[in-house]
Structure 1
Amino acid sequence: MEILEKSEGIGALLKNFASLARESQKIIFIGTPGFCTPFAEIAAYSLRKSSKQMGFIGNTDIENAKQLIPTDMGMQLGDTIDYHADTVVLLGGLAMPKIGVEPEELKTTLDSIFEKSQKKLLIGICFQSIFENQGWTDTLDFDYIIDSDMTVSLKKI
């Protein structure tokens, strides 16, 4: 795995994502409901002014894909949409052991999502190298992974 760029902050994550998705027509984010949904919304927000269609799938429930739509309050989930896309973004919450989603199961989901697409782009967005640490990079053919670390400080003033 080759590191293409090192930068810091949420702005860098969003800039890298927007750059990778610039040629995409339709982007489907896949993550755990609740935990990953806000990360999909913030990543989608970086493309809010584009004409790209975007949606979110909870776990592997492709039949209940929801549209990500821009509102005056940011990106929000909307109505059910067709799950087919040329770009899929896997969110790291899926790889947490307690979630129970296996990468082999996702291969079938990805095949269904990409079945009508000539171009196929698979991006991972995660924290603390979870896709690598859980062995997902051995099973899934990621084109790119945006990997972040998070430092948390609780301060009493």
Structure 2
Amino acid sequence: MGDIMTLKLLKEENGLSPMLREFRTLVRDSNIEKVAFVGSVGVCQPFAELFGYAIRDKECYFIPDGDLNKVKKLVIKDIGMQMEDFENLNKVDAIVLFGGLAMPKYGVEVDKIKELINKLSPKKVIGVCFMSIFQKAGWDKEIDFDYLMDGFIKVSIYCKD
């Protein structure tokens, strides 16, 4: 990998739908056919299924905690996107890193992810996170992201009087 480039803001929108739409467009416009989602177990898995569904015409995989010995293939089944065991993933067009990886409580080291990126040699490295976790953890200075999608969540809770 070369020097880490500074990313420039392309656009801002609210909600998950624009995030998924922009992701789908990015994958399509980059001629990406094979995508590996990498994220922490449990927290990132549903996001891999959600983002995988947005590009369901592509070949998609989930690599929990960056462990190539535990790769799952994303497949469409009767209730939507699900995961099946898969062996021997060795090359992808894009790696999508989910922000859960950078959360200290999950203990995934950035160097492990850099090795994974090097091994799978993708054309594109895409970060997807919420609340600027990649920036807060300094991963944006360590990983050469081609794109970084950063969402912010505002929670409102209502109840009866």
Q: After TM superposition, is the score higher than 0.5?
A: yes
Task: Choose from 15, 21, 41 the match for 1:9.
Answer: 15
Q: State how far apart, in whole Å, the 1-side matches of 2:27 and 2:87 are.
A: 20
Contact kept, 8 Å, 1:16 with 1:146, in 2: the verdict is no
- 1:114-137: CA deviations, max 9, x gaps? 2xxxx6100000001111111001
Q: State how far apart, in whole Å, the 1-side matches of 2:146 and 2:38 are.
A: 16
* 2:88 paired residue number: 82
* 2:3 paired residue number: none
Q: Structure 1 counterpart of 2:16, which letter?
A: I
Which structure 1 residue ranges, 5 or more long, are not aligned?
none
* 2:153 paired residue number: 150
Which structure 2 residue ranges, 5 or more long, are not aligned?
1-6
Cα deviation for residue 63 of structure 1 reads 2.1
Task: Choose from 36, 39, 42 the match for 1:34.
Answer: 42
* 1:98 paired residue number: 105
* 2:63 paired residue number: 57
Q: Does 1:136 align with 2:139?
A: yes
Q: State how far apart, in whole Å, the 2-side matches of 1:54 and 1:122 are.
A: 14
| Other structure's SS at 2:73 match | strand
Q: Structure 2 counterpart of 1:130, which letter?
A: I
Q: State how far apart, in whole Å, the 2-side matches of 1:32 and 1:110 are.
A: 16
| Other structure's SS at 1:21 match | helix
- 1:33-83: CA deviations, max 9, x gaps? 1110000100011112x2x11000000211221100112211100121432
Q: Does 1:47 align with 2:50?
A: no
Q: TM-score, normalised by structure 1?
A: 0.92
* 1:21 paired residue number: 27
Which stretch shifts more, 139-148 or 68-77?
68-77
Q: State how far apart, in whole Å, the 1-side matches of 2:21 and 2:78 are.
A: 21
Q: State how far apart, in whole Å, the 1-side matches of 2:147 and 2:88 are.
A: 24
Contact kept, 8 Å, 1:14 with 1:43, in 2: the verdict is yes
**RMSD (CA atoms):** 1.1
| Other structure's SS at 2:42 match | coil
Q: TM-score, normalised by structure 2?
A: 0.90
Q: State how far apart, in whole Å, the 2-side matches of 1:76 and 1:33 are.
A: 14
Q: State how far apart, in whole Å, the 2-side matches of 1:63 and 1:26 are.
A: 18
Q: How many residues align?
A: 151
Contact kept, 8 Å, 1:29 with 1:88, in 2: the verdict is yes
